[in-house]
Structure 1
């Protein structure tokens, strides 16, 4: 990623594709143990289809979230199915290759390898009955989609926002210089000593939320929430846009103010995070990985580059409607720090 950004040589460019490929390789490394060249055709094809799924689900709107309506045939539905089939086919090929060369004595170093090993031990203490090919395929599909577009979108918004607010970016640069320096790469453990950086990341995520609403959950029993009766089987979601932008929750919500996440002692106040990953027992299981990726990617980049908006790029950037709130095309400059 750093090398690709450096290749722009300070010229205007759109970072979204590079970010998407970087996060895709992180997900593929965890899932399969393999990373890809950015111009690899197989990698590009699956990346295109993951973007297409999120875009089409956004276009499908209410049809994507209500089972009775989602069952109705539509052009969008068939496009979603085709993209799903492409991704499933990609994963199936990898799984078959892994099974063919699997060695029970070899240590598993990625998700698929660990799952295949558990499948071979199925019925034993380390191989539960649920370890079958269907669960492997579905789990791999979920990891691929959920771990890819959401983080890419968060980072794409983060770079645009930091380029739009140079003073906030300068403060992060200074903290990186003071805590990490320029002679080593950042580590996630550094975040404990970097309250300004953590507050800035939190404000980026509040200011430009990746999701307008959370993925719906289903009530397991009749219940009452906020005075409303929720029947068993009813779908419940969370209005993330309201939590991030409401003047009832935030003072001057349309202003970018990282200091709102710092307490009186200048420490990062995690308690007022706008629930980007949900909360409680159904919190997003990928939250630790996502927070690690966001922190490391942004600090890696800000340790090496200063970012600014290119001429003509809007500070108040429109959103491309999708399952995620993706930023529309924009251009920035990345100037290497001497």
Structure 2
């Protein structure tokens, strides 16, 4: 027994030493991998990566950045995109990072971003297979799908169909106005109930905005008290937050972490399951009630196209219920989160700059008056209001790093070699803070979008919806919603911070989108 125990201890000791040696060899070769790629590939410069994790911990985990790099002497924080933008001052407007062994190239400034996405669209229009995103989207849909014939066909069909149902047209205005009428009624009730403590605008805005895209793709609106729908909106926000701003971001280095049975990894899988159940139930209901003679929405049109291609014997058609599921998910998220956050940012800036709020309201009073609701036909007559909306969009950029792109082939760009498969991050935040194209870029100044005669100025370096072939498909819808929401709410109400309440910080909460930090407002009817 003693001899056997000694032998077991010896074996355990040998195995332990073998593991240490193996780990050392792996780390050494990873170090050599980085060093050779770094020194000889002519890739853009950047901070030296560590083995295994690359630059991941130091630059791409927003929570880590907030704790380690972001805190200022006054206790405030710089968000992740500010830190990434500052690196351009060290390494130039085209620089590299490594996420694990994945090369990431960050593009900064208007000229560089435009050059890549507009002048080299065939190279830089693909989407990367980022593990956390791929697991959730399977690289299908409209937003996260790989670039190619299938994506072009699906996007063309969706864009044409949505336009037929009113996307970007005046015919959609009543749908938007219906949601805003509900907001006005609910705001007054909640403000009275709060007793001056303030109202959280986020749930009201999110519900109204989401119902517009729901009416287009699902043919129905959801009441603000609909528990399942409110849960769905909450899951959507939480899912994005987990993917980008929690330890679950490590899935992008170690994909198997997704299957861990605890913590945010378990929560992420549950979020995915709950969203899947909600959307697939809606698709099933559409299938059961489909009337070929009277399609109600995008889902109906898609199912009809799917049946048409099946009848024509197209066995390899990409039009499937599975693909429809990912399209609906993409449009639902993209059509809710970005626009909702833009509206919240605008209202927050109005609270923090009451003089600008007064000027916007004075313009609305002069052009529209108090006895009718603002319309999209008033848009050209409200230049200062439009300029204010644009200035807040410039400063906040709700999708500050865009949606990641990928190089579909090895190419030379700005004197550097960009290998095939490189992730490309177009830093739209840096575009909107670029001092070479904007005077005093960090200051809030709506007048920068007006000429000397007070007419609206269109600037090509203003690209909150992206640029190139992957530009946001819902840009026109978002502009309609922003204009109507801002003008209608500011025509009716005065917004201010609750008495004695400090203003919320402006660094925002960085997920896939940049949301304002939670805040409440007091609302009063304008006399």
Settle same-fold status: TM greater than 0.5: yes
Q: Name the CA shift for 1:32/1:17 in 2 (closer, same or farther; >3 Å).
A: same
Measure the CA separation in 2 of the matches of 1:71 and 1:290: 37
| Residue 227 to residue 138, structure 1, CA distance change in 2 (3 Å) | same
Taking the TM superposition and a 5 Å limit, the aligned residue runs for 1:45-60 are 45-60=231-246
For residues 193 and 225 of structure 1, do their structure 2 counterparts lie closer, same or farther at Cα, with a shift above 3 Å needed? farther
Q: Higher relative contact order by CA 8 Å / sep ≥ 6: 1 or 2?
A: 1
Cα displacement string for residues 261-281 of structure 1 (whole angstroms, at most 9, x for unaligned residues): 112332211224531111122
Partner Cα separation in structure 2 for residue 271 and residue 249 of structure 1: 10
1:114 and 2:301 equivalent?
yes
Q: 2:275 aligns with which of 69, 72, 87?
A: 87
Give the secondary structure class of the aligned counterpart of 2:412.
strand
Q: Is the 8 A contact 1:63 1:70 kept in 2?
A: no
Give, in whole Å, the separation in 2 of the partners of 1:203 and 1:189. Answer: 21
Do 2:248 and 2:265's aligned partners in 1 also have CA atoms closer than 8 Å?
no
Question: Among 452, 455, 463, which residue is 1:264 paired with?
Answer: 452
Provide the secondary structure at the position in 2 that maps to 1:282.
coil
2:187 paired with 1:5: yes
Distance change >3 Å, CA 328–CA 174, structure 1 → 2: same
Counterpart of 2:65? none
Taking the aligned partners of 1:273 and 1:130, their CA distance within structure 2 comes to 36
Please point out which of 326, 330, 335 is paired with 1:147. Answer: 335
Q: C-alpha distance in 2, partners of 1:65/1:32?
A: 32
Describe the SS at the equivalent of 1:280. Answer: coil
Structure 1 CA distance, aligned partners of 2:416 and 2:470?
Answer: 20
Corresponding position of 1:325: 514
- Mapped contact 1:65–1:216 kept (Cα < 8 A): no
Match of 1:303 among 485, 491, 494: 491
Question: In the TM superposition, what whole-angstrom CA distance separates every residue of 1:71-122 from its partner, at most 9, and x where no partner exists?
Answer: 544654443332122111101001111111111122x232212212222322
Secondary structure in 1 aligned to 2:495?
strand
Q: Which has the larger radius of gyration?
A: 2
Match of 1:28, SS? helix
By how many angstroms is 1:227 displaced? 3.0
CA contact (8 A) 1:213 1:239 kept: yes
> Aligned partners of 1:70 and 1:187: how far apart in 2?
49
Question: Is contact 1:175–1:194 with CA below 8 Å preserved after alignment?
Answer: yes
Whether contact under 8 Å (1:57, 1:64) holds in the other structure is: no
Change (3 A) 1:184 1:130: farther
The answer to whether the Cα contact below 8 Å between 1:32 and 1:111 also exists between their aligned partners in 2 is yes
Cα drift, residue 70 of structure 1:
4.4
Q: 1:65: how far off? A: 9.1
Q: 1:319 to 1:61 in 2, by over 3 A?
A: farther
Q: Relative to structure 2, which stretch is displaced further, 182-191 or 50-59?
A: 182-191
Contact preservation (8 Å) 1:60, 1:77: no
1:252 aligns with 2:440: yes
Once the two structures are overlaid, the 10-residue window that deviates more, 252-261 or 268-277, is 268-277
Q: 1:280-323: CA deviations, max 9, x gaps?
A: 22211111111111111111111111111223131644422322
Aligned residues: 335
- Name the SS for the 1:196 alignment partner: helix
State the alpha-carbon separation in 1 of the partners of residues 406 and 465 from structure 2: 17
Partners of 1:53 and 1:80 within 8 A in 2: yes
Partner of 1:188: 376
Match in the other structure for 1:25: 211
Deviation, 1:69, is 4.4
Q: Who is 1:274 aligned against?
A: 462
More displaced 10-residue stretch of structure 1: 321-330 or 47-56: 321-330
Q: Is there any run of 5+ residues in structure 1 with no aligned partner, and where?
A: none
Contact 1:261 1:272 in 2 (8 A): no
Task: Determine the C-alpha separation between the residues in 2 that align with 1:49 and 1:156.
Answer: 19
TM-score by length of 1: 0.90
User: Over aligned residues, Cα RMSD in angstroms?
Assistant: 2.4
Contact 2:505 2:517 in 1 (8 A): no
Q: Could you list the per-position Cα deviations for residues 128-163 of structure 1 after superposition, in whole angstroms to 9, with x for gaps in the alignment?
A: 933211121110010111111111111111111111
- Where 2:240 maps in the other structure, the secondary structure is helix
